[in-house]
Amino acid sequence: MSHDPALNNSPAVAAQAVSWKEGKVVLLDQTALPKHENYLICSTTEELIEAIRKLAVRGAPAIGIAGAYGVVLAAQEVKKLPREKQSGAFDKKLKDLELARPTAVNLTWAIGKLKKLMDLEKTPLTDERVHQLLCEARNIHEEDIRSNHQIAEFGAQLLEKGPILTVCNTGDLATGGVGTAFGIFAKAYRQNKIPRVYVCETRPILQGIRLTAWELNRQKIPFTVICDNMAASLMQNEKISAVITGADRIAANGDVANKIGTYSLSLLAKAHSVPFYVAAPQSTFDLSLESGKSIPIEQRNHEEVLSVLGNNRPDYAIPVWNPAFDITPHSLISAIICERGVINYPNQEKIKSVLTGINL
């Protein structure tokens, strides 16, 4: 993996989390934000897997887009192998890529979509077929940009006047375009509906204060960061008009896996009669899972939690539990907003009907 200084500190307003350039995947390194705008260049599938694991690229749709380009990297590498080794090597690379982050279904979805185009048992990889994969990866990227706009449109219409609260990061860093939940409140701000965005810092690795605050600052949207444990008090002291979050996977019944802390926010929203909205593209729905109970939840390194101690680390062991995501039951969700429309009080029937376009 190498750094590209020429791409650093670009003044462009929209950050490009993932792009394909000259046969390589270029990532805005989100581990270095907000202080440094560094770009990583991944030339191999292994380098991309490493970048996904360490969260240089993160956020469900952005991981899906990166995964799609990762399949193209894998194909470029496998094309150099003898014909009889291609199929096995390709499958292995794609499996490793898929396992890099298990909760966000967008990764599995994107890899599956590209894999369907290739049957290497029957036909060898050629330049033409690698190009075909690249076109499909670009389609996934462009489709996400379009979905983001549609989600922003639907979601902004739904919001009442007043400040909103969000968690984690759901903007251009987490997607291909303007974001999901972020796209909604950014649009509503421009419509003068939202005077301020409250942002949970999002422990343990601070995607809220590091990434969402960075995006809001760039877009000149007024914001205030709170520690995660201040949300109840905020709702008690200020009239919050809505909580809006993204999602990493949505089960068939509408249960939502999202950044750890989302479930607490949904409970608080209910207690304070604040609408709780989830915004996500269709690629985040996993209709193969009946409920949120079967969504795999990533357990991450304990260091993410302990690192706040810095030099003040004691010499005894501190046991840690560090799940990256939690499940919000659909009963606590006022609406899910996707590019096909708004699913009020989501349940299995309504989700199926909106996603298939068939009135059940």
Q: Does 207 bind ligand MRU (CB under 6 A)?
A: yes
Report if residue 168 touches ligand MRU, rule: CB under 6 A: yes
Asked if 211 contacts 171 with a C-beta cutoff of 8 angstroms, the reply is: yes
Asked if 147 touches ligand MRU (CB under 6 A), the answer is: no
Instruction: Report the nearest approach of ligand MRU to the CB of residue 174 (Å).
Output: 4
Exactly one of 38, 45, 147, 258 binds ligand MRU (CB under 6 A); that residue is 258
Cα–chain-centroid distance for residue 229?
Answer: 23
In order, the DSSP letters of 105-120 are: HHHHHHHHHHHTT--T
Q: Which stretch binds ligand MRU (CB under 6 A): 53-61, 138-146, 288-296, 328-336?
A: 53-61
- Active-site residue flag, 127: no
- In the list 18, 26, 45, 59, the residue contacting ligand MRU (rule: CB under 6 A) is 59
203 contributes a contact to ligand MRU by CB under 6 A:
no
- Distance, CA of 216 to CA of 234 (rounded, Å): 20
Nearer to ligand MRU, 47 or 248 (CB): 248
Q: Which residue from 117, 115, 99 is spatially nearest to 107, judged by alpha carbons? A: 99
Q: Is 155 an interacting residue with respect to ligand MRU (CB under 6 A)? A: no
By CB under 6 A, tell whether 328 contacts ligand MRU.
no
Distance CA 88, CA 182 (A): 40
Amino acid occupying residue 306: L
Q: Tell which one of 104, 268, 333, 343 touches ligand MRU (CB under 6 A).
A: 104
Q: Quick check: bond before 346 cis, omega within 30?
A: no
| Contact pick of 18, 42, 60, 178 for ligand MRU (by CB under 6 A) | 60
Query: Exposed, middle or buried: residue 273 (CB in 10 Å: 0-12, 13-18, 19+)?
Result: exposed
**Taking CB under 6 A as the rule, does residue 194 contact ligand MRU?**
no
Nearest one of 342, 284, 15, 282 to 156, comparing CA atoms: 342
170 binds ligand MRU (CB under 6 A): yes
Task: Select from 177, 208, 246, 275 the one that contacts ligand MRU (CB under 6 A).
Answer: 246
Q: Which stretch binds ligand MRU (CB under 6 A): 9-17, 34-42, 58-66, 108-116?
A: 58-66
Q: Which among 172, 248, 255, 286 is annotated as catalytic? A: 248
Does residue 283 bind ligand MRU (CB under 6 A)? Answer: no
Task: Check binding of 324 to ligand MRU (CB under 6 A).
Answer: yes
Q: Could you tell me where the DSSP H helices lie in the chain?
A: 45-53, 60-78, 83-98, 105-115, 127-158, 181-190, 207, 213-218, 231-237, 262-271, 303-306, 348-356
Q: How far is the CB of 132 from ligand MRU (least distance, A)?
A: 28
Query: Residue 193 CA to chain centroid, in angstroms?
Result: 25
Residues in contact with ligand MRU, counted by CB under 6 A, come to a total of: 17
Site membership for ligand MRU, residue 175 (CB under 6 A):
yes
How far is 185 from 197, CA to CA, in rounded Å? 8
Q: Please name which of 92, 75, 81, 69 lies closest in space to residue 19, comparing C-alpha atoms.
A: 69
Q: Using CB under 6 A, which of the segments 64-72, 108-116, 214-222, 243-251 binds ligand MRU?
A: 243-251
Asked, as a colleague might, if the bond just before 204 is cis with ω within 30 of 0, I would say yes
61 binds ligand MRU (CB under 6 A): yes
Q: Which residues form the interface with ligand MRU (CB under 6 A)? A: 58-61, 104, 168, 170, 174-175, 180, 207, 246-248, 258-259, 324
Q: Point out the residues that are catalytic.
A: 248
